[in-house]
């Protein structure tokens, strides 16, 4: 493998053009890099601050390879890029993380199968391809259980709680009878995540354990460091770093966990990119998750993940404003002597956006 670093002045290509790509592009430009983005839309969050925005279908192989010929390395900011697009780019320039990482993590059955086959803790699951599979899987796993689409699901979309076996046919029909995964319901105490990075040379680094709360399946608040025992901290970070190695990731990976009251961890999902729960690293850590992604994919030494102070982040969704859509619009981060104080500050700041109160 060529370990020669890609230095400032080079051009980074980004597949996808949302808010994660925008924050990545901001970090890249601060480090002296140029940024090109490719997506099927125009005037995008990433494209607005990129040096060049390519707009075409992901299936437009000629346009995809034109984009690839103008950059020194390519990364992605969301998982739902067609694997054929990544293959077309990889014929021209390196893609980091590689296409096999994307192929595994963009499909829940492939992801859970990978995790289980490598001994990582996951809840029991079954692959569902038909109503007959679904009924048999429910008999094997029992209820309650969670039915999820196999692909293209996020923020709770494409999920259904199954509390009675009699509800199987209705739930499967509501999901469009598409390929799915059925998972045993986990009665967890809290949700946590670990964001970690692996460099081109195999070096790894993590940001510790972040505690997350959700509202209507969308991340609401994140706290760091999480309120977990030293043993949970050690196990969660070891699992995350081991997944990076086993999956052969070059870049940033977020591992989402369910944590039970007895301290047992289950891996819920993987995201091979910066994650919403890690946005607080921009203000709370020496190196943000976005700069870390840049460092990893460019073959630079990984940055320090040291956290300055306890911190809390509040997600900002469009419905904060009248008639707004329930989509991510931004975030607020607060730092304080304790996570409880940071949470109080960030909660009050977010409430001021709707109440009109001034926070002094």
- Integer-rounded Cα radius of gyration of the chain: 20
What pLDDT, on a 0 to 100 scale, did the predictor assign at position 356?
Answer: 60
Q: Rounded to an integer, what distance in angstroms lies between the CA atom of residue 68 and that of residue 71?
A: 6
* In the chain, where the domains are located: 11-95, 124-184, 190-354
For the entire predicted model, the pTM comes to: 0.93
What pLDDT, on a 0 to 100 scale, did the predictor assign at position 175?
Answer: 86
Q: Rounded to an integer, what distance in angstroms lies between the CA atom of residue 293 and that of residue 302?
A: 9
Q: Rounded to an integer, what distance in angstroms lies between the CA atom of residue 179 and that of residue 149?
A: 6
- CATH number for the segment(s) 11-95: 3.40.50.20
Cα–Cα–Cα angle for 225, 102, 74, rounded to 5 degrees:
90
Q: Rounded to an integer, what distance in angstroms lies between the CA atom of residue 191 and that of residue 268?
A: 9
What pLDDT, on a 0 to 100 scale, did the predictor assign at position 149?
Answer: 93
What pLDDT, on a 0 to 100 scale, did the predictor assign at position 155?
Answer: 58
The domains spanning 124-184 and 190-354 adopt the same CATH topology: no
Residues 6+ apart with CB under 8 A from 204: 196, 197, 198, 241, 244, 245, 302
Q: Cα-flanking dihedrals φ and ψ of residue 119, to 5°?
A: 80, 15
With beta carbons less than 8 A apart as the criterion, state whether 290 and 68 touch: no
pLDDT in tens, 51-72: 999 999 999 999 999 999 999 9
CATH topology of domain 124-184: Dna Ligase; domain 1 (3.30.1490)
Of the options 1.50.10.10, 3.30.470.20, 3.40.50.300, 3.40.50.720, the CATH number for the domain spanning 190-354:
3.30.470.20
Cα–Cα–Cα angle for 326, 329, 333, rounded to 5 degrees:
120
pLDDT in tens, 281-316: 999 999 999 999 999 999 999 999 999 999 999 999
Parts of the chain with a pLDDT under 70: 1-2, 152-157, 319-325, 356-360
What pLDDT, on a 0 to 100 scale, did the predictor assign at position 323?
Answer: 58
**Per DSSP, which regions of 134-274 are E strands?**
145-149, 159-162, 180-184, 190-198, 204-215, 218-224, 251-259, 265-271
Long-range contacts of 304-309 (CB under 8 A, 24+ apart): 305/205, 305/206, 305/207, 305/208, 305/281, 307/207, 307/208, 307/224, 307/225, 307/281, 308/284, 308/335, 309/284, 309/335, 309/336, 309/337, 309/342
| Alpha helices (H) in the chain, listed in sequence order | 19-30, 61-69, 83-90, 99-105, 108-117, 131-141, 168-174, 230-246, 281-284, 289-298, 339-355
What pLDDT, on a 0 to 100 scale, did the predictor assign at position 217?
Answer: 85
What pLDDT, on a 0 to 100 scale, did the predictor assign at position 156?
Answer: 55
DSSP string over 303-343: PP--BSS-EEEEEEEGGGSTT--SSEEEEEEEE-SSHHHHH
């Amino acid at each position: 493998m060529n370990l020669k670093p890609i230095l400032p002045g080079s051009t980074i290509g980004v597949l996808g053009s949302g808010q994660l790509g925008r924050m990545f592009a901001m970090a890249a430009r601060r480090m002296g890099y140029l940024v090109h983005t490719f997506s099927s839309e125009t005037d995008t969050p990433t494209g607005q601050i990129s040096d060049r925005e390519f707009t075409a279908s992901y299936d437009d192989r000629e346009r995809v390879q034109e984009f690839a010929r103008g950059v020194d390395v390519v990364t992605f900011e969301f998982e739902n890029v067609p694997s054929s697009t990544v293959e077309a780019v990889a014929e021209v320039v390196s893609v980091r993380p590689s296409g096999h990482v994307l192929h595994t993590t963009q499909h829940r059955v492939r992801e859970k199968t990978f995790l289980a086959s490598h001994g990582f803790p996951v809840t029991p699951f079954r692959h569902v391809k038909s109503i007959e599979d679904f009924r048999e899987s429910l008999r094997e796993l029992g209820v309650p259980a969670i039915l999820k689409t196999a692909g293209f699901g996020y923020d709770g979309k494409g999920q259904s709680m199954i509390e009675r076996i009699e509800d199987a046919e209705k739930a499967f029909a509501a999901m469009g009878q598409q390929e799915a995964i059925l998972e045993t319901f986990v009665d967890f105490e809290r949700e946590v995540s670990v964001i970690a990075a692996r460099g081109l040379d195999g070096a790894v680094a993590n940001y510790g354990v972040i505690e997350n709360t959700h509202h209507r399946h969308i991340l609401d608040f994140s706290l760091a460091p999480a309120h977990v025992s030293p043993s949970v901290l050690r196990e969660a970070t070891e699992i995350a770093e081991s997944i990076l190695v086993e999956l052969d990731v070059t870049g940033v990976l977020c591992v989402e966990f369910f944590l039970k009251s007895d301290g047992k961890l289950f891996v819920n999902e993987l995201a091979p990119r910066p994650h919403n729960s890690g946005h607080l690293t921009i203000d709370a850590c020496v190196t943000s998750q976005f700069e870390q992604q840049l460092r990893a994919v460019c073959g630079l030494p990984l940055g320090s993940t040291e956290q300055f102070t306890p911190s809390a982040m509040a997600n900002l969704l469009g419905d904060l404003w009248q008639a707004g859509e329930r989509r991510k619009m931004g975030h607020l981060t607060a730092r304080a002597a304790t996570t409880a104080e940071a949470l109080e500050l960030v909660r009050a700041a977010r409430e001021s956006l709707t109440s009109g109160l001034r926070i002094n």
